[in-house]
Amino acid sequence: MLRYIVRRLLGALPTLLVIITLAFFLIRLAPGGPFDSERPVPAEIAANLERAYHLDQPLPVQYGYYLLNVVQGDFGPSFKYKDHSVSELIAQGFPVSLQLGAFAMLLALLVGIPAGMLAAMNQNRPLDYTVMALAMTGITIPNFVMAPLLALVFGVFLHWLPVAGWQEGSWKAVVLPVIALALPQIAYAARMMRASMLETLGSPHIRTAFAKGLPLRLVLWRHVLKGALLPLISWLGPATAAIVTGSVVIEQIFGIPGIGRHFVQGALNRDYTLVMGVVVFYGVLIIAMNLLVDVVYGLVDPRVRYE
């Protein structure tokens, strides 16, 4: 197991290098610069700023400086947030994004798994069609469309919930962004659970369990559910990383001070180091979640071997 983890970590280094390289050069293709503003900066001040941040050097030299700093764990200073490093901004925003993503994923599992099980147990019946129709609707409508609709209905018209802000300790401020972020994942979890359960129910060992006279409840909880959850575990890692990184739009709509909002503001302000830092951080997060899921999958399914 340890050798497998080490090999995966070493194999992730080229992937991270590609992510850093693409993000570094693509962000610089955008028009404008970090020190452009409506009031033009005097030429001598602009030259001093570019010299201080190595922006007067050729791009390959800037890339070398940045790569050297990243290896040392330093994402550099923010160009727009004075007296703040990118690492500090990520440390401030990520706990909020993590809470938002964790609540959304928990809601997705608590609703999606039972919905998929109900659909599978009622295959080709009205309940099955209803659950799958709702799931398809949740997949096709993106969260940046659903989020304003939820805010309009429950915040503006009904005045039940706040439509913006992140108030620590207030569950009302969490409800709308969590639901908006979780809806697509609920749909994916329900469809995946249904398909996995139908496949597991048709397995020979399940037919044997029914032939021996075991009650339905016992077969479901002891045999079917364990096998049906394996594909869901494989999906869980990328989905968790996606739901945390996908909070970019949700945080912007609901005014949540998470890392996603920093990313959007950094992109608008051409804050190169902030955008790069968030991209690299998200890349590391996705790689780590995929590795964690592979390890958990091996612990759950004894047929998986890492040698």
Q: How confident is the model at residue 152 (pLDDT cuts 50, 70, 90)?
A: confident
Residue with the bigger pLDDT between 48 and 156: it is 156
Asked if residue 116 has pLDDT above 80, the reply is yes
Asked if residue 298 has pLDDT above 80, the reply is no
What long-range pairs does 26-30 form, CB within 8 A, spacing at least 24? 27/267, 27/270, 27/272, 27/275, 27/276, 28/59, 28/272, 30/267, 30/270
Q: Could you tell me which of 147, 96, 104, 146 has the C-alpha nearest to residue 262?
A: 96
Q: Is 86 exposed, middle or buried (0-12, 13-18, 19+ CB in 10 A)?
A: buried
pLDDT digits (tens, 9 = 90+) for 222-240: 777 777 777 787 787 778 8
Q: Taking the CA atoms of 151, 154, 157 and 161 in sequence, report the sign of the dihedral they define.
A: negative
SS3 state of residue 42: coil
Tokens of 186: 């609920």
pLDDT digits (tens, 9 = 90+) for 155-186: 888 888 887 777 665 777 788 888 888 888 88
Burial 6-28 (b: 16+ CB within 10 A, else e): eebeeebeeeeeebbeebbeebe
pLDDT score of 185: 87
Share of the chain above pLDDT 90, in %: 1
Each domain of the chain, given as residue ranges in start order, spans 100-258
SS3 state of residue 212: coil
**How large is the average pLDDT for residues 95-99?**
84
Asked if residue 55 has pLDDT above 80, the reply is no
pLDDT digits (tens, 9 = 90+) for 265-283: 777 777 788 888 888 888 8
pLDDT score of 122: 86
What is the spatial distance between Cα 91 and Cα 72, in angstroms, rounded to a whole number? 17
Q: Could you tell me which of 246, 244, 209 has the C-alpha nearest to residue 226?
A: 209
Mean pLDDT of the chain: 79
pLDDT digits (tens, 9 = 90+) for 235-257: 877 788 777 766 777 888 888 88
Tokens of 284: 């590391």
Residue with the bigger pLDDT between 127 and 83: it is 127
Residue with the bigger pLDDT between 120 and 39: it is 120
Assigned CATH for 100-258: 1.10.3720.10
| DSSP label of 223 | I
pLDDT score of 211: 74
What is the spatial distance between Cα 117 and Cα 224, in angstroms, rounded to a whole number? 10
Tokens of 155: 């915040």
Residues 6+ apart with CB under 8 A from 274: 78, 79, 80, 81, 86, 89, 262, 263, 265, 266
Q: Could you tell me which of 149, 135, 90 has the C-alpha nearest to residue 271?
A: 90
Asked if residue 136 has pLDDT above 80, the reply is yes
SS3 state of residue 77: strand
pTM: 0.77
Alpha-carbon radius of gyration of the chain: 24
**How large is the average pLDDT for residues 132-145?**
83
SS3 state of residue 85: strand
